[in-house]
């Protein structure tokens, strides 16, 4: 319970592990460029109240573990991060602009997985232990408390 975050109308613990790569897996994220990627990701996350739990910028990809509010979907988070970092890096580093003349720094797509402290089995067992009877439809996965 101590890891839960609080919003105006919610309590949550939503964590995503994201990985995204440079287009053509080019090793562009070293030195100043890598540092700038890290700074931009931090800035974007601060803007949307996303906590960075862990992160790493490799030469051709980025890994982050993020704690996110429930109003942001994984696809929206990636849209913000990839879009804004790509645009800013292209403007600030002319050698990147020459390498990626099509104006796309990142490859299409990304990897995302949820992370948590409780297994699916533990949650299902907790729900099974709640009061309720099976509905008349015979669906034993969704109980209703009798009146």
pLDDT of 139 reads: 55
Main-chain phi, psi angles of 53, to 5 degrees: -85, -35
Catalytic residues: 126
Strands 111-115 and 51-57 turn out to be: unpaired
Using DSSP's 3-state secondary structure scheme, residue 82 falls into helix
Length in residues, the chain: 147
What's the CATH number of domain 5-116, 2.40.110.10, 3.50.50.60, 3.40.50.300, 3.30.70.1290?
3.30.70.1290
Integer CA distances (angstroms), 66 to 2, 9, 73, 132, in order: 17, 21, 12, 36
pLDDT of 138 reads: 56
Q: Helices 74-92 and 31-47 sit at what angle, rounded to 10 degrees?
A: 140
Main-chain phi, psi angles of 31, to 5 degrees: 60, -130
CATH 3.30.70.1290 domain locations along the chain: 5-116
Is residue 143 within 8 A of residue 135, CB to CB? The reply is yes
107: number of CA atoms within 13 Å, CB side? Answer: 16
Point out the residues of the chain with pLDDT beneath 70: 1-2, 131-147
Look up the pTM and report it. 0.83
pLDDT of 109 reads: 96
């Amino acid at each position: 319970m101590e890891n839960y975050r609080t919003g105006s109308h919610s309590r949550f613990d939503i964590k995503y592990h994201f990985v995204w790569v440079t287009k053509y897996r080019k090793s562009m994220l070293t030195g100043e460029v890598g540092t700038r990627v890290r700074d931009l990701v931090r800035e974007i996350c601060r803007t949307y109240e996303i906590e960075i739990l862990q992160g790493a910028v490799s030469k051709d990809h980025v890994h982050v573990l993020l704690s996110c509010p429930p109003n942001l979907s994984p696809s929206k988070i990636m849209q913000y991060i990839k879009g804004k970092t790509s645009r800013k890096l292209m403007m600030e580093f002319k050698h990147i602009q020459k390498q990626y003349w099509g104006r796309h720094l990142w490859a299409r797509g990304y990897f995302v997985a949820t992370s948590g402290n409780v297994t699916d089995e533990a949650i299902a067992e907790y729900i099974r232990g709640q009061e309720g009877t099976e509905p008349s439809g015979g669906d034993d996965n969704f109980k209703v408390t009798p009146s």
